[in-house]
Copies of this chain bind each other. A is one copy, B any other.
Amino acid sequence: MSHPVSTKDKLLTVARAMFWTRGYSNVSVRDITKAAGVDAALVSRYFGSKFGLFEATLSEIPEWEALEAAPEDLLSAAVASFSHPYDPDVDQANPFTMLLANVIDPEIGAHVRGMVQQKLADPLTERLDGPNAEDRATMLLAALFGMALMRKNFQLKSLATASLDEIEAQTRHLAEAAIRYDA
Contact = CB atoms under 8 A, between A and B. Distances in A.
Interface residues of A, number: 46
A174 B146 CA distance: 11
Nearest to A141: B150
A155 interface: yes
A157 interface: yes
Interface of A: 22-23, 25-26, 99-101, 103-106, 113, 116-117, 121, 134-135, 137-139, 141-147, 149-150, 153-159, 162, 166, 169-170, 173-174, 177-178, 181, 183
The 6 A-B pairs of least Cβ separation, nearest first, read A146-B146, A177-B177, A142-B146, A134-B158, A103-B153, A116-B154
Given A25-B25, A121-B157, A142-B143, 16 more contacts: A101-B104, A113-B154, A113-B155, A116-B156, A121-B156, A135-B162, A138-B159, A139-B147, A139-B170, A141-B154, A142-B147, A144-B146, A145-B149, A170-B181, A173-B177, A173-B178
